[in-house]
Every structure is written in structure tokens, then in C-alpha cells.
Chain A
Amino acid sequence: MKPQSTALKILTVLSSLLFLAALVMVFFFTPLEETMNYVQKVFYFHISNAWVGMLGFMAAAVAGIAYLVSHDRKWDILEMAAIEISLIFFLIAIMLGSIWARPVWNTWWTWDPRLTTAAIVELIYLACLLLRQGIDDPDRRARFSAVYTLIGSLSVPITFLSIRLFRTIHPVVIGNNDANGQGSFAMTKPMLVTMFFCLLTFSVIFVTLLWHRVRLENLTVAVEERQMEIL
């Protein structure tokens, strides 16, 4: 197993610094929103976590296609790593949304199109990881995952577009023109800058974690192979 590369070490330090900077920007740079005040500060990390969650699920679909074309196991490893990390981020996005919704919508959860489709996406990919465990043959497992992820990825754009296609109380953040949205607010320039900074920060964190997770899976494969040689 190769030691951790300098690039990965730099990326890890950079991710930590960006995360701290994002926190500073959220708490000291953005103004307090007039109606929701403090709880609105959850928004910056809510949207960033949702973004990297969706990004990772789409990256998994691309890795799935790459596996089906090449039958190279590295794509299966990348796909599985992207799904695992995206599940974490997407879960955080859902939980933050729920915490934000409680004081603003007066409920933790409602079967609104956006919330429902987001929950379905989380469950689809959670099921993928669980079902993978039941297949012993690595090639069959990789083929199954690739096809499953490809079909599952259809749920991601549906979730993204759900607030634009259906009648929903979830506010539209970019290009806000939805009168039904409850909890929407006018974005000032510092809010917009902070939002994009958080999106960048979480994208970098995602890449860093993906790299670490791929290394971990490569080590798992190395252990399995060594075990087969010895036993």
C-alpha cells in the first residue's frame, strides 16, 4: 500500500482550513436574516451538503458507466466510495432541513415533493450499499452496482427539479420566483458570496474524503487478495 501522497496531505489540510473559514464567514460575515434570524444560518451548510450529496450520486453514476465500459474494478471502488460519502452528506442535508423547518414551517417533516424525493434518493442509495453486501462475486457485485446506480441516478435530477416542477412549500434558492415557498428570503451579496464559498468548501471536502475512502477500499482489496494467497 502506497503511503499518503503529498497532494492528499495538502488537500486534507486545505479542506480543514476551508471548513473553518466557511464557519467564520457564516457567523461573522453574513448579516442576520430579518424574519428567521439565527436559524437561517443553517441554510449555508444545508445547501452545501445537499449539493455534494447530489454531486456524489451523479459521480457514482458516471463511475458506473465507466465500469460497464471498461470492467476495471477501480471504477467500482470509486462508485462505492462516492455513494458512501454522498449518503453522509445527504443525510446531514435532510437533517438540517428538518431542523430548519421546525421553527419556520412549524413541523419537523412534511410529505412535500422535495422532502419526499430527497428521502427516496437517500433510501435508494442506502439500499444499494446494503444489497452489494449480499453478492460475493466481485464482478457480479460491481456489475449490479453499476446498473443499479445508473438507474438510481434518475432520482437525483427529479429531486433537484421537484421544487420547480411541483407545487411545494420548499423555497427555490437560485432564481427565486416561487410564491408558495415558505422560509424563502432575499439574498444579500454577503449571503450569496458565503453560499458559493460553502459550496466550494464542501466540494473540496468531498474530493478529499473520496480520495481517503478509495485508499481505504484499495487496502481492503489488498487484504482480501493476501488472504486468498495464504489460505
Chain B
Amino acid sequence: MLDPIISVKYMVAGYAVILVIIPAYLVSLLLRWRALKRRLQDLEDVAGKK
């Protein structure tokens, strides 16, 4: 049987991986969305000036 303290440490490490990578991906989606919206707005401004 595994030592419960060691076992808990690996369990925490496992869930930390999930709770870091998935939110990081969500943030990357959000940042890319905002950057594209800003880019589209800039293009509309350029088109307006032309």
C-alpha cells in the first residue's frame, strides 16, 4: 500500500495540472478573441479614414 502522504502529493500534482492547463487555454482563447476584435476595429478605423 502506498504511503497516504506521498499518494496525496501526487494526487494534488495531478489536479494542479488540470486546474492550470485548462484555465490557461481558456485565457488564451479570450486574449486571442480580444486581440482580433481590436484588430478588426483598427481596420474599420482605417477604412473610415480612406
With both chains docked as a complex, state the minimum distance between the C-beta of A4 and any C-beta of chain B, in angstroms: 10
Considering the chains assembled together, what is the distance between the CA atoms of A92 and B13 in angstroms?
A: 12
- Nearest to B36 among chain A residues (CB) is A219
What 14 new A-B contacts, CB under 8 Å, besides A99-B13, A104-B2? A1-B40, A36-B7, A38-B8, A39-B11, A41-B11, A42-B10, A42-B14, A45-B14, A46-B14, A92-B17, A92-B18, A95-B21, A99-B14, A103-B10
Which chain B positions have C-beta within 8 A of A99?
10, 13-14, 17
Instruction: Indicate if the CB atoms of B1 and A37 lie closer than 8 Å.
Output: yes
Taken together as a complex, chains A and B put the C-alpha atoms of A111 and B39 apart, in Å, by 46
* Contact assessment for A91 and B11 in the assembled complex, using a CB-CB cutoff below 8 Å: no
Contacts of A85 in B (CB 8 A): 25
Q: How many chain B residues touch the partner (CB < 8 A)?
A: 28
**The one of B2, B25, B37, B47 that contacts A39, using a Cβ cutoff of 8 Å:** B2
Once A213-B29, A223-B40, A223-B43 are accepted as A-B contacts, the answer to whether A100 and B10 lie under 8 Å apart by CB is yes
Query: What 1/0 flags go to B21-50 for Cβ under 8 Å of A?
Result: 110010001001100110110011011001
**B11 to chain A: closest CB distance in Å?**
4
Which of B13, B18, B44 counts the most chain A CB atoms within 10 A? B18
The reply to whether A96 and B14 contact each other, CB–CB distance below 8 Å, is: yes
The proximity string for A residues 114-155 relative to B, scoring 1 for CB distances below 8 Å and 0 otherwise, is 000000000000000000000000000000000000000000
* Nearest chain B CB to A136 CB, angstrom units: 19
- Do the beta carbons of B14 and A100 come within 8 Å of each other? yes
Q: Is the CB of A230 within 8 A of B37?
A: no
Residues of chain A in range 167-200 having any CB-CB distance to chain B below 8 Å: none
Candidate in A35, A38, A219 with the most chain B CB atoms within 10 angstroms: A38
- CA A66 – CA B4 in complex, angstroms? 50
A residues in contact with B2, CB < 8 Å = 35-37, 39, 103-104
Residues on A close to B: CB < 8 A? 1, 34-39, 41-42, 45-46, 49, 85, 88, 91-92, 95-96, 99-100, 102-104, 209, 212-213, 216, 219-220, 222-223, 226-227, 229-230
Contacts of B25 in A (CB 8 A): 85, 88, 209
Given A95-B17, A227-B43, A230-B47, A38:B4 Cβ within 8 A: yes
Residues of A within 8 A of B21 (CB): 88, 91-92, 95
A230 to B47, CA, bound (A): 6
B50 in contact with A230 (CB, 8 Å): yes
Measured CB to CB, the nearest residue on chain A to B17 is A95
Provide a sorted-by-A list of 14 A–B residue pairs whose CB atoms are within 8 angstroms.
Answer: A34-B1, A35-B2, A36-B7, A39-B10, A42-B10, A42-B11, A45-B18, A49-B18, A96-B14, A99-B14, A212-B29, A226-B40, A230-B43, A230-B47
